Chains A and B, each alone.
Chain A
Amino acid sequence: MTALLYRDLMLALRAGGGFGLGLAFFLIVTVLVPFGVGPQSELLARIAPGILWLGALLACLLSLDRLLALDWEDGTLDLLATSPLPLEAALSIKALAHWITTGLPLVVAAPLFGVLLNLPGPGYLWLVVSLALGTPALSVIGTFGAALTVGIKRGGLLMSLLVLPLYVPTLIFGAEVARRGAAGLETTTPLLMLAGITAGVIAVMPFASAAALRINLR
């Protein structure tokens, strides 16, 4: 199992675009928002948590179609399906690799981008906490979307259509934590909900993803 994780990380590192691309996209979204809504710092400060969450979500989405498509094209998925590694485990590992290459850099970089959007002082901690808790769910749910659409040529757009509605609960609770944190309010309830969703999704979604992938491999 560690071999698969190691290989995926190595590929992301060598092929480029793994670590950097999502982050660059995140930065561009953050930079474009003030152009869209105007430079007033109070307004930016108010919408900063939501924008940062949305940016992170889109950056995650952007890299999803590479998650399984490359392994599908070169036959790796066929071979993995005939290997001793259960497909559920393989997909969990791939989701983890996806999180390390896109989610984790976003979590680390988010405070920097928060500065660009005048995020209020107490918001930084909660932004990082909510992203750290929420982005794993985004990767795992995204893996499900990728497994559903892996057999479809040019399935990227369709995958966005399928995955984005599934992101709604995570986005709502994640952004709520960041927003309440920035406003200096109590964050416990949405934080617990977010953690619950992430835990539940990590536990259950790999089975749905593996089922979808098996159907596609037939």
Chain B
Amino acid sequence: MTLVIRDLCVARGGLPVLMGLNFQVAPGRALVLRGPNGSGKTTLLRTLAGLQPPLSGEIGGAEDRIAYAAHSDGLKAMLSVAENLRFWASVFGQRDIGPALRSYALEDLHDRLAGTLSAGQKRRLGLARMLVTARPVWVLDEPTVSLDADAVLLFARAVRTHLEAGGSAIIATHIDLGLEAEVLDVTPFRATAETRAGASDEAFL
């Protein structure tokens, strides 16, 4: 099923930030979002993940199909690596965490408490979480923050495997992952001060 975005307008704090977005992400395809800080990439991704409603427009094919990862990984310092993963696996109705551990080279850290991991290791664990969700559309917000070069390669490989298996991904990132992906620069879609689009403060203008 293709993710279809039509005429989407997203808002942060009641103000429109991006508008007129139209794109599709077919199975097996990846979309890389680019744009300067504060341009609304995170807002767009949160809207796609269903955490906030769009101001206007449609998001088709997202219902219960999206796995979302943002700046914070939802890890518990007092649980071990395996326990953290197993928890998310069972929330998403999965059991096997082996492949996820292997693809991010976390087997050796299996029993370490997440609180004792380095920032990069935590990030790897957070990304491994995507693999235990069994959801076809990955929505990733700056996934490579605090990853070293090797780990970025691990990540790129995981995404590639996911795409080959018929999944898709929308990734906001600034580095080149070496993926065959379409690139969407959100800068032209930034809302101007006159944009209303049903913004929450529209009635007051």
Asked if B66 contacts A82 (CB within 8 A), the reply is yes
A83 close to B (CB within 8 Å): yes
Determine how close the nearest CB of chain A comes to the CB of B16; give it in whole angstroms: 15
A24 close to B (CB within 8 Å): no
Name the one of A2, A15, A75 contacting B72, with C-beta atoms under 8 angstroms.
Answer: A75
Residue of A71, A81, A218 with highest tally of chain B CB at under 10 A? A218
User: CB-CB < 8 A to A4: which residues of B?
Assistant: 87, 91
Asked if B74 contacts A83 (CB within 8 A), the reply is no
User: CB-CB < 8 A to B88: which residues of A?
Assistant: 79, 83
User: CB-CB < 8 A to B50: which residues of A?
Assistant: 81-82
Asked if A84 contacts B78 (CB within 8 A), the reply is no
Determine how close the nearest CB of chain B comes to the CB of A15; give it in whole angstroms: 5
Asked if B49 contacts A76 (CB within 8 A), the reply is no
A125 close to B (CB within 8 Å): no
Task: Please measure, in the bound complex, the distance between the C-alpha atom of A75 and the C-alpha atom of B68, giving whole angstroms.
Answer: 11
Asked if A84 contacts B67 (CB within 8 A), the reply is no
Please choose the segment from A6-14, A129-137, A185-193 that sits at the chain B interface, where 4 or more of its residues have CB less than 8 A away. A6-14
Asked if B66 contacts A75 (CB within 8 A), the reply is no
Asked if A10 contacts B79 (CB within 8 A), the reply is yes
User: CB-CB < 8 A to B79: which residues of A?
Assistant: 7, 10-11, 14
Residue of B70, B71, B91 with highest tally of chain A CB at under 10 A? B91
**Chief secondary structure at chain A's binding surface:** helix
Asked if B87 contacts A15 (CB within 8 A), the reply is no
User: CB-CB < 8 A to B74: which residues of A?
Assistant: 71, 74-76, 78-80
Asked if B87 contacts A7 (CB within 8 A), the reply is yes
Determine how close the nearest CB of chain B comes to the CB of A31; give it in whole angstroms: 31
Asked if B91 contacts A218 (CB within 8 A), the reply is no
Residue of A3, A7, A11, A79 with highest tally of chain B CB at under 10 A? A79
Asked if A78 contacts B68 (CB within 8 A), the reply is yes
B198 close to A (CB within 8 Å): no
Give how many B residues have a beta carbon under 8 Å from the other chain's beta carbons. 29
Asked if B52 contacts A3 (CB within 8 A), the reply is no
In the complex, per-residue mask of A20-47: 1 if CB is within 8 Å of any chain B CB, else 0: 0000000000000000000000000000
Task: Please measure, in the bound complex, the distance between the C-alpha atom of A6 and the C-alpha atom of B86, giving whole angstroms.
Answer: 11
**Residues of A109-136 whose CB lies within 8 A of B:** none
B205 close to A (CB within 8 Å): no
Residue of B52, B66, B71, B72 with highest tally of chain A CB at under 10 A? B72
Asked if A75 contacts B70 (CB within 8 A), the reply is yes
Q: A3-B87, A7-B79, A11-B78 are in contact. Are A78 and B93 (CB under 8 A)?
A: no
User: CB-CB < 8 A to A83: which residues of B?
Assistant: 88, 91-92, 133
B residues adjacent to A (C-beta < 8 A): 49-53, 64, 66-76, 78-79, 83, 86-88, 90-93, 129, 133
Can you list 17 A-B contacts with CB-CB less than 8 angstroms, sorted by A residue number?
Answer: A3-B87, A3-B91, A4-B87, A4-B91, A15-B78, A74-B74, A75-B72, A75-B73, A78-B51, A79-B68, A79-B69, A81-B51, A83-B91, A84-B64, A217-B51, A217-B52, A218-B53
